[in-house]
Structure 1
Amino acid sequence: MARAIWTGSLSFGLVNVPVGLFSATQEHEVRFHQFESGTSSRIRYKRVNQDTGEEVDYDDIVKGAEVDEGKYVMLTAEELAAVEPGKSRTIDISDFVEASEIDPIYYQKAYYLAPTDDTAKKPYALLARAMEKADRIGIATFVMRDKQYLAAIRPKDGVLILETMYFADEVRDPKKELENLPGRTSSRGKDITMALNLIDALSASWNPKNYRDTYTERVEQLVKAKKKDRVVVTEGDAEEAGEKAVDLLAALQASLERSKDHRPGNTHNLGKLETRKREITDVDLGDLSKADLIGLAKELDIRGRSKMKTDELREAIEGVRNESSRAKSRRAG
């Protein structure tokens, strides 16, 4: 079972519900360690005194706030705790608002709220049901890990979800931060109509299962391939932004034509690549010229193909289709 990363009370008027805060999401990135190049020696980091070079124990470290250039005031954990807002173990709902009024840019990270004991279940369920019926989101503040958070609390299927939020002064003004933003430009009616048609053709119902972290998957494939000393199939080289100037209307028309086979999600191109791998299974690579091999390697997105010799190209392509055959056998088994 998951362990609460924070415990306290959810305050709703004069009602206090004992709750725990649990992470609602988890990232699935590949984690790397650092090594000195050419060795298997791990790189380690230590907390050291910059003047003496000696390592400092964690318990002997205090926080310092810079007040002038090169000048600091030191603050202990006890001093910081003393200035925390009152009821620091309370998530205090102060307002209820409509979800549509909140710009998503303010949201940070999602957590689940759960009652910590049996006595909290009834008021917890009451609050969740009332918020569902009212169709409102609770806005609250609370302190966690020496930081005050603004939070939005919403019900979903009987569970209260807390999303930490940025305060207003933490969201940057794009007009002050970004250059070359377009002004109010006039667009041709035909351009707008074509763009609307393209949006309509690419529209779909939201389903998070349609989308995968294909980059992490390919990194995992790379790790497995390197472990077995095999060739790695990679994405094609990215086109440089601004490489070509294109006619907007022509681009919209071409995009609309391509959208006829649109399927929701970001993984349908992976299926096309697998299909092409299967198609080349019976090709006799010995009968192909180097130019043909480079063309085939390009279709299979084999990186570094332009620098490979003829035998290296054959070996790389053979490695790809062997891997495809093994994957097919595993699926069949």
Structure 2
Amino acid sequence: MAERISEGLYRIPVPLPGNPLRELNSYLLTGGERAVLIDTGFRQEACRQALLAGLDELGVNRRDVDVVLTHLHSDHAGLAPEVVGDTGWIYASGPDRDYLEHADDAHWARRDERFRAEGFPAELLAQNTANPARALAPGFTDRYRTLEPGAVVEAGARRLRCIPVPGHTPGQMCFWDEAEGILFTGDHVLFDISPNITSWLEMEDALGSYLDSLRAVRDLPVRLALPGHRGRGELAPRVDALLEHHARRLEELRAILRKEPGLTAYQAAGRMRWRIRASSWEDFPLAQKWFAVGECMAHLDYLRLRGLTARDWDGAVWHYRAL
């Protein structure tokens, strides 16, 4: 059932079956000639049914809807082409639009090669094709339009300013309704869980970008922060907690490498602490292991670029050591 947040602003909960995120918060803004939907859910039947039921409940015709994406991930973008059909538009940042339009098999092959070079077993990568990151992504459409930094999205009487916050993805955006003090945070700031910050082919320092992006929104006069998943909270204290979280993770990783120099990213990730229901690294669900290694890689990139670790190539994989 849709939740009314304020006049012309609703949350449609979209379930994410089998995913630890549980559900997506899709936000619908009405009151103008066209409704604006922020994020959509996986290209998956359970998501499709919930989202369309929410639109029907609120009396919104899909032909009158445009989609605005906080970022490219499949749980946010997967249903966007189906929602807009041939009458609406999908608005996304330039970097994330480029990814959505060009992430083909060759792209995934390059990404798999990067993970192999970090020690991820080739046989596990071969089994990872069902990962929601690729299996439930949006289908092809020519309905994308680019949102530039600082652009304004008009939704009825609301004016949402686009704030680039790269890190979680190369082109993640927050949408800032300054008049109402409402910030749509996407996955940039989540309140019950820490956003996954992975290494990207398109970014040299994803974690460094993310930490800078956290500081960029911390002091906005936000009355209500609306995240992409789970519950709400106060922005500034949560930003401080996330900054501290990653400082601890970086020190944890340096301590691991001081104790065991020469580990691959895959091995180092297996020694890090993760909040997941698995008795050991070997028992991690494959998709979650992939996300964990990607996050470890982002932290290793951050440390290496600041001269705190080094890596050595043995002809097949990288090995890391603390400095």
**Superposition TM-score, scaled by structure 1 size:** 0.21
Higher relative contact order (CA 8 A, sep 6+): 2
- Compute the TM-score of the two structures, normalised by the length of structure 2: 0.21
